[in-house]
């Protein structure tokens, strides 16, 4: 078991603790009953993470033992819920409860775009297409994107409006999406007959309640215009950065330079 070691409770000197990395390392090596239990527990957590994509110590978070980690968890959940794939799926789930739902109709896509644009407009005053069109620039760092997964933006990432938002805008959008989905899910649970236009009206009511402006039109830039510019700027960016060294190449060049200095040290001046 993990126990505190070091000075007594009456000592004024700082108390020492086992290093967490050491505990984990020893837990996987030691041949004892406790070591076996640790490996079983760790394997269960790892399996849950691989299958579900997350693993949580529910009791620790319920008892506020997680400190600021609980706030971090909530922020991550908000960010996930506002991702286009998750948001699209949840909106469709809600929309499917309406009387005029038709999975084969283009109205479903239009409905999603309307909801998405109203959310973006309320959060930062632009539609999703406008944000992409206005902020993408081949001459800017990372094409103007503020959120990318790798070292350089991908073509797919340039087509997602959320990737261009600053931290404040993203925080507002994430919170609005989470709050709206919660309200919409409550409405769906009431099983009150709803049509597509009713859901839009509920969204407008929600935006009014937050004190933000309501989008009254489709915006000044179409989705196709935004994608066309995004693709064009991405091609320019690829051309501008094609001769840049990769991280592996940079390390290789640095290693050669270091080796060269060792082989040819500067002679002291006489």
Dihedral sign for Cα 139, 144, 150, 156, please. Answer: negative
pLDDT of residue 62: 64
pLDDT of residue 229: 96
Instruction: Name the token pair of 112.
Output: 């999603």
* Shared-domain flag, residues 150 and 222: yes
* Shared-domain flag, residues 87 and 182: yes
Q: What is the DSSP letter of 210?
A: H
* Shared-domain flag, residues 221 and 113: yes
User: Does residue 114 lie within any of the structural domains?
Assistant: yes
pLDDT of residue 166: 93
pLDDT of residue 73: 66
* Shared-domain flag, residues 159 and 231: yes
pTM of the full structure: 0.63
Domains identified in the chain, total number: 2
* Shared-domain flag, residues 123 and 226: yes
* Shared-domain flag, residues 217 and 161: yes
Of the chain, the end-to-end C-alpha distance in Å amounts to 65
* Shared-domain flag, residues 84 and 204: yes
pLDDT of residue 74: 67
* Distance separating alpha carbons of residues 148 and 163, to the nearest angstrom: 7
* Distance separating alpha carbons of residues 83 and 76, to the nearest angstrom: 11
* Distance separating alpha carbons of residues 131 and 162, to the nearest angstrom: 8
* 96 Rama class: left (phi>0) / alpha (psi -120 to 50) / beta: alpha
User: Does residue 66 lie within any of the structural domains?
Assistant: no
255 Cβ contact list (under 8 Å, min separation 6)? none
- Residue ranges of alpha helices (H) inside 63-195 are 69-81, 84-95, 107-124, 128-135, 155-158, 167-189
β-partners of residue 16 are 5
Domain range enclosing 87? 78-243
* Shared-domain flag, residues 175 and 111: yes
Full pLDDT tens readout for the chain, 270 residues: 444 444 555 555 556 666 777 777 777 787 888 888 888 888 888 888 787 777 777 776 666 655 676 667 667 766 766 676 777 677 777 777 777 777 677 776 777 778 888 888 988 999 999 999 999 999 999 999 999 888 889 999 999 999 999 999 988 888 888 888 888 778 777 777 788 788 888 888 888 888 888 888 888 899 999 999 999 999 999 888 876 656 666 676 677 777 777 777 666 665
């Amino acid at each position: 078991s993990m126990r505190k070691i070091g000075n007594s409770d009456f000592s004024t000197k700082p108390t020492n603790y086992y290093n967490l990395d050491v505990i984990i390392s020893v837990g996987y090596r030691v041949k004892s009953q406790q070591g076996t239990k640790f490996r079983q527990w760790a394997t269960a957590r790892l399996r849950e993470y691989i299958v579900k994509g997350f693993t949580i110590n529910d009791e620790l978070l319920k008892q506020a033992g997680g400190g600021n980690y609980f706030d971090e968890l909530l922020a991550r959940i908000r960010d996930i819920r506002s991702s286009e794939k998750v948001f699209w799926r949840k909106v469709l789930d809600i929309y499917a409860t309406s009387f005029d739902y038709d999975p084969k109709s283009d109205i479903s896509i239009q409905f999603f775009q309307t909801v998405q644009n109203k959310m973006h407009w309320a959060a930062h005053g632009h539609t999703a297409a406008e944000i992409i069109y206005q902020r993408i620039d081949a001459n800017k760092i990372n094409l103007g994107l503020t959120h990318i997964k790798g070292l350089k933006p991908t073509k797919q990432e340039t087509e997602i409006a959320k990737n261009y938002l600053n931290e404040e805008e993203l925080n507002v959008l994430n919170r609005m999406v989470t709050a709206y989905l919660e309200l919409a899910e409550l409405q769906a649970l009431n099983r009150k007959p709803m049509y597509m236009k009713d859901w839009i009206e509920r969204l407008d009511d929600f935006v009014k309640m937050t004190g933000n402006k309501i989008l009254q039109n489709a915006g000044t830039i179409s989705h196709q215009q935004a994608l066309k510019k995004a693709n064009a700027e991405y091609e320019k960016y690829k051309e501008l950065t094609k001769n840049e060294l990769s991280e592996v190449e940079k390390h290789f060049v640095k290693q050669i330079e270091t080796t060269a200095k060792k082989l040819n040290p500067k002679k002291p001046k006489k």
